[in-house]
Amino acid sequence: MKDYSVLKGKFGLHVKQIRETKGYSLIEVDRRCELDESNISKIENGKINIQLSTIFELAKGLGVEPKDLLDFHI
C-alpha cells in the first residue's frame, strides 16, 4: 500500500488556505456543513483520509465547488 501522507498534507494545507482566505473559523465551517470541527482540523492537518462524500460536504461548508478543493499542486 502506498503512503499518501504527503498528498493528505498538501490537500489539508490547501483546505486550510481556502478556509482562512474566506475568513472562516473551524466552527463556522462546521456549522455550514455536516462535518465535525475536529474532523475538519484532522483533514487540514493531513491526519485522515477522506471519502468523496466528505469532499462534497467540505466544499459546501467552505462555499466552494468540490473541484476547487482538488485544485492544488502535489
What pLDDT, on a 0 to 100 scale, did the predictor assign at position 73? Answer: 86
What pLDDT, on a 0 to 100 scale, did the predictor assign at position 1? Answer: 52
Torsion of CA 35, 37, 39, 44, to 10 degrees: 110
Q: Where are the domains of the chain?
A: 5-69
What pLDDT, on a 0 to 100 scale, did the predictor assign at position 3? Answer: 77
Q: Are 30 and 61 in contact (CB under 8 A)?
A: yes
Q: Give the CATH H-level superfamily of domain 5-69.
A: lambda repressor-like DNA-binding domains (1.10.260.40)
What pLDDT, on a 0 to 100 scale, did the predictor assign at position 74? Answer: 81
Question: Averaged in consecutive runs of 10 residues, what is the pLDDT profile of the chain (74 residues)?
Answer: 85 98 96 94 96 97 97 88
What pLDDT, on a 0 to 100 scale, did the predictor assign at position 57? Answer: 96
